[in-house]
Structure 1
Amino acid sequence: GDVQAVINAAQQAKPEAKLVFLTPLKHGYIEGQPSYPDKNNIDLGLEDYCMAIKEVCDKNSIPVIDLFNESSIEAENIADYTVDNMNLNEAGNEKVAKSISQALQEIFK
């Protein structure tokens, strides 16, 4: 649904653009939001959304940088990489930037 709509809109606006999607990072408790691995009010967890992003992008031959599974940011170390269980601190920004940079180099080589 919505991921495909974003792809369609981007491709229509800039047909020559090379799209790359990112999965969200795991996060801890944030007021009013379920924390990983808890599910939301429609019984979907963050992992379900990541799988949907990857499935839709795969059908459209769009690369995905899977930060959810490949960033090494987990519940056990989230305090080391975030200021509030979600927003990255300096160490988190460096870690994620390095992951994204390496993945983009691989995608665009």
Structure 2
Amino acid sequence: MDEKELVTIEKAVFPYMNEPITCIGDSFTHGAAARPDISSYVSRMTKYLGTTPRNTGVGGATIAKGDDERGFIGDQIKDVEGQKVITIFGGTNDFAGNRPIGSVKDPADKVTTFCGALKYMITNLAKQNPSTKFLLITPAKSNHADWRLYDDGGNLRKNDLGNTFSDYVEAVKDVGKYFAIPVLDIFNEGNYNPYLFPNLSLEGLHPNAEGHERLAKTIAYKINSL
């Protein structure tokens, strides 16, 4: 096998080999926000992507901007330029922080709603990265005491605004459809479920080492297919 053939095979396996990739998000992305000794899915994707993605995740951050102490995920986009792939993974803290969902009709400068803030990030990142490919990732399921999906009767819990976790998941999908951006539905199809597999999570929410490894494989596979 000559060098040209080897490069062809490498590109088939790792289409983004040595290319710049940035992962934007909350504590799931940051990783160390939950446990400093557990590496995030982001760094773990290196072996599956052939490149080392940049991690801008901030623990506790929300997609929609609020007036409390939670960070705004949109602040992470300021110096994200020249990227081949950008992923945005969030929504758990928007549910917990009672951020209004809004709709895809919200303008891209309405960062106080979940949909408007997603549109803000995507439109501005597109200007800064004219050849990039996006991947939106829905929030994951939770069995944490403060972020439980279901009440004692088995019904989806609602936050103070009357929204369920699932409502934020559907909002991510709606924005993805609006922009023709692929969405990785970790919530419904990610094989990350603390109810079934408590061994994947630290406390019913944040992934442990095994959970991050599973997310790394799932997300990297989707990135390689873009």
1:14 aligns with 2:129: yes
Indicate the residue corresponding to 2:143 in structure 1.
28
Indicate the residue corresponding to 2:212 in structure 1.
93
Percent identity, aligned pairs only, is 26
Indicate the residue corresponding to 2:193 in structure 1.
74
Structure 1 unaligned blocks of 5 or more: none
TM-score between the two structures when normalised by the length of structure 2: 0.43
Indicate the residue corresponding to 1:43 in structure 2.
162
Counterpart CA distance in 2 for 1:38 and 1:75 is 16
1:63 aligns with 2:182: yes
Q: Larger C-alpha radius of gyration, 1 or 2?
A: 2
8 A Cα contact 2:135 2:181, kept in partner: yes
- Structure with more relative contact order (C-alpha pairs < 8 Å, separation 6 or more): 1
Counterpart CA distance in 2 for 1:17 and 1:105 is 13
Indicate the residue corresponding to 1:5 in structure 2.
120
Measure how far apart 1:76 and its partner are: 2.2
Counterpart CA distance in 2 for 1:106 and 1:12 is 23
Q: Secondary structure at the match of 1:19?
A: strand
Structure 2 unaligned blocks of 5 or more: 1-115, 150-155
TM-score between the two structures when normalised by the length of structure 1: 0.85
**Matched pairs, number:** 105
Q: Secondary structure at the match of 1:54?
A: helix
Query: In the TM superposition, what whole-angstrom CA distance separates every residue of 1:36-83 from its partner, at most 9, and x where no partner exists?
Result: 131111111111111111111111011111111111223522421111
8 A Cα contact 1:38 1:45, kept in partner: yes
Indicate the residue corresponding to 2:72 in structure 1.
none
CA RMSD of aligned residues (A): 1.6
Instruction: Please state which structure has a larger fraction of its residues in strand.
Output: 2
8 A Cα contact 1:28 1:78, kept in partner: no
Measure how far apart 1:90 and its partner are: 1.2
Counterpart CA distance in 1 for 2:158 and 2:117 is 19
